[in-house]
Amino acid sequence: MKRKIYNSLIGWKETKDFKPLIVLGVRQCGKTYIIDEFCRNEFKNYKKINLLYDVDVVKLYKSTDSSEKKYNALKILLDFDFDKSDSVLFIDEIQECEELISELKFFNEKHSNVRIICAGSLLGVKLARLNKPFPVGKITRLYLFPMDFEEFLLAFNQQPLIDEIKKCFKNNESMGILHNKAIDYYRKYLLSGGMPESVKAMIDCNDDYYNYDLSKLENIIEDYKNDMNIHVVNSSETLKIRKIYNSLPSQLQNVSKKFQYSTIDSDAKSREYSLPLNWLVESNMVQICKCVKLPEKPLLGFVDNDVFKVYYSDVGIFNRVINNDIRTVLFDDLKIYKGIITENYVANQLKASGIDLLYWKGSRDSEVDFLISTIEDGIIPIEVKADMHTQPKSLKVYDSLYHPKYMIRISLKDFGFKNNIKSVPLYAVFCIQTENKDTK
């Protein structure tokens, strides 16, 4: 399956600043697959190791030998000279050896010609809780998210549809009859989400989507729950992590949609749950959307750190957590969950595009779902609607206060531009880019 991170990997290979690369992302989003494909395609000499099984490498780096001695021993142990030109070493499951993570600084400073890529399960959590020194400034990070809707369409060989969506987004032109086709794919995406294994199961249905294998997502969720026992302080933290994760549908269903510790437990305190919540964030199982007090640049400078929303990292997983069946999703019968599922989907798409998740809360009931900061057009508010009813009440309030260059409304409606509002169909969220000069 084609992943857009591949271009970023090419960029890393071509840079003159040879820093070890760490690829982060939630479990089963496709890190190992895309790194392996990249290394096979782009390098003449390639070696992959997995520290879950290559225990001698772990033992080597836990020894008291000098960094240079470990370095030379590693080449002999692997029977691979990664000093040779056009060579790359892929270390998977590197979280199993924090001593090796720390040694990446030595690789960068003393052997900067060496190409090393690292990945692992819960690597973000491990990096946040290292006991050894972290190689600050000596590595490059890339983030891989579940497949966004554009990658989903690519998996279905729908490049012509993608091209048409991009053209209509740029020119505010109607998709015509193709609008319904794109909406159909959007609903399939809500069902499968962007996990590659789940998307493959959707493709394997051969258009008979009632036979879509829901167990793929159920297995991923079970793996996530098992992961909640790893890299934790104690069993009490594990319990709190699970409570937070299971509370998210209720959190998003409350009137404000704001994350509230009291929703987890009536006597829950932020100081007791901040570390478990951070575990979920670092594992990339959830995504945080922070509230902005004043929509001015830089947006991150006006964040209220005590007010935020929490989304699942994948909308397909969200639908499985609340046990929505195939007919419910494909026939758009989501009922009370429709709004928050749609909002979760949009959050996932924006995050996959590298956009910070931020929202604005005004007085009374006015709230803009997302804010983006663009180079050309300044701060642009985004309102999300789950269906065709698109009264932009909050956008009107925001417009009267801050007078943005234009506003975006995401809904089931076709493309268009009216009353300073750019209409973007739900299937076109991937087109929104903060650096895009042609968003209006």
pLDDT in tens, the chain (440 residues): 899 999 999 999 999 878 999 999 999 999 999 999 999 999 999 999 999 999 999 999 999 999 999 999 999 999 999 999 999 999 999 999 999 999 999 999 999 999 999 999 999 999 999 999 999 999 999 999 999 999 999 999 999 999 999 999 999 999 999 999 999 999 999 999 999 999 999 999 988 888 899 999 999 999 999 999 999 999 999 999 999 999 999 999 987 889 999 899 888 888 899 999 999 999 999 999 999 999 999 999 999 999 999 999 999 999 999 999 898 899 888 888 999 999 999 999 999 999 999 999 987 778 999 999 998 899 999 999 998 877 778 899 999 999 999 999 999 999 999 999 999 999 999 999 875 444 33
**Could you give the C-alpha distances from 181 to 2, 135, 166, 184, 414, in angstroms and in order?**
21, 48, 15, 5, 12
pLDDT at position 332? 87
pLDDT at position 138? 94
Structure tokens at 389: 């009813």
φ/ψ of residue 367, rounded to 5: -155, 130
Q: How far apart are CA 292 and CA 225, in angstroms?
A: 32
pLDDT at position 435? 54
Chain-centre distance for alpha carbon 293: 25
Structure tokens at 438: 């042609």
Q: How far apart are CA 59 and CA 55, in angstroms?
A: 6
Q: How far apart are CA 147 and CA 314, in angstroms?
A: 9
- Nearest to 317, CA basis, from 146, 167, 178, 87: 146
The pTM for the full model equals 0.95
Q: How far apart are CA 121 and CA 41, in angstroms?
A: 24
Domains of the chain are 5-143 (3.40.50.300), 210-431 (no CATH)
pLDDT at position 62? 97
Question: Which 3-state string (H, E, C) describes 281-295?
Answer: HHCCCEEEEEEECCC
Identity of residue 191: L
Which helix (DSSP H) or strand (DSSP E) does residue 237 occupy?
A: helix 235-253
Structure-token match 């997995």, residue found? 50
Q: How far apart are CA 259 and CA 255, in angstroms?
A: 11
Structure tokens at 307: 């007010």
Beta strands in 320-362 (DSSP E): 358-361
Chain-centre distance for alpha carbon 130: 23
Structure-token match 């670092």, residue found? 282
Residue 401 · residue 362 · CB < 8 Å: yes
**Could you give the C-alpha distances from 55 to 46, 59, 80, 89, 92, in angstroms and in order?**
20, 6, 17, 16, 12
264, with CB counted inside 10 A (0-12, 13-18, 19+), is buried
Q: How far apart are CA 285 and CA 287, in angstroms?
A: 7
Q: How far apart are CA 157 and CA 426, in angstroms?
A: 20
Which residues share a beta bridge with 116? 89
